[in-house]
Amino acid sequence: MPLNKKDLLEIQELSSDDIKLIIDTAVSFKEVTGRDIKKVPTLRGKTVVNLFYEPSTRTRTSFELAAKRMSADVINIAVSTSSVVKGETLLDTARNIEAMRSDIIVIRHSAAGAPYILAKGLKSSVINAGDGCHEHPTQALLDMFTIREKKGRLDGLTVAIVGDITHSRVARSNIYGLTKMGAKVKVIGPATLIPLEVERLGVDVHYNLNEGIKDADVVIMLRVQLERQGKTYFPDIREYSMQYCLTKERLRFAKEDAIVMHPGPVNWGVEISPELSEDKSTVILEQVTNGVAVRMAVMYLLSGEKATAS
């Protein structure tokens, strides 16, 4: 069954079958990333361009590795040394890149909707690597892959998402994805960081961490995104961590075999206590490992029948 899409812009537009297809395909690619020689000819002759207008460690690196492991050529545009600083628009920048025959453009931008502008204006496949506070679809896909790998399923699980829900594109993509896949989702945080009417997305809202994570199978902790907050949403960072930092003691409210996730970068001691960094419940680095396989699957599926996995 093909994905039948030119672009990956958001989880909201994917069906549960699409999500399952991507996760199932990523399972095969994870096997490739575990080999001594981690390379297949799947995207040989294709060109992938990383166009990141915002900082990134995990997403940009894993898209580059994913493309290289499928034998594509990869170009990383450093926006700070490109003609963007001379005032070139987003679409002009992308059109000029496409004129050099790109096949896939991966974009991260601070403006929600920026990937849509490119998808409409370009023939290349466009992948959203995070747009403002809107969505981060490949992060949610790698999170769902990791949960399914650890728990064997998504359907029927209880997933608690804790922190700055308002500014988190990761939370939004995970809420769309996990609810489509049959998980029960709870969001937990200070009232000032929970969007109004978020319940309409099919989630339960809690303001107390211990109550919110009660009996959860999965606890996803979010980064406090000080750079996206135009004003202060809580008195100070210590006040926040006293109420919402996940400690070993607080984790006891979740199921005994609950896993702890975080999209990174982690502010240790603010969102998660350092004592949990080496704990068997914490799967943050496994999420990063899985990100490469999931991004290989996404690029392979968007390339359609032109690509051959092996």
Contact between 112 and 287 (Cβ < 8 Å): no
Contacts with ligand CP by CB under 6 A lie at 56-59, 130, 139, 263-265
- Cβ at position 57, least distance to ligand CP in Å: 4
Question: For residues 40 and 284, which CB has a smaller minimum distance to ligand CP in the complex?
Answer: 284
Question: For residues 111 and 191, which CB has a smaller minimum distance to ligand CP in the complex?
Answer: 111
Question: For residues 206 and 223, which CB has a smaller minimum distance to ligand CP in the complex?
Answer: 223
- Cβ at position 267, least distance to ligand CP in Å: 13
- Cβ at position 92, least distance to ligand CP in Å: 25
Question: For residues 59 and 166, which CB has a smaller minimum distance to ligand CP in the complex?
Answer: 59
- Cβ at position 253, least distance to ligand CP in Å: 26
CA gap 112, 103 in Å, rounded:
23
CA gap 235, 237 in Å, rounded:
7
Which residues contact residue 264 at a Cβ distance below 8 angstroms, ignoring those fewer than 6 apart? Answer: 57, 58, 223, 284, 287, 288
Q: Measuring CA to CA, how many Å separate 33 from each of 20, 93, 241, 287?
A: 20, 32, 37, 14
- Cβ at position 185, least distance to ligand CP in Å: 19
Which residues contact residue 214 at a Cβ distance below 8 angstroms, ignoring those fewer than 6 apart? Answer: 253, 254
Question: For residues 189 and 263, which CB has a smaller minimum distance to ligand CP in the complex?
Answer: 263
Buried b (16+ CB within 10 A) or exposed e, 201-238: eebebbeebeebbeebbbbbbbbbbeeeeeeebbeeee
Q: Which two tokens stand for residue 140?
A: 């949610």
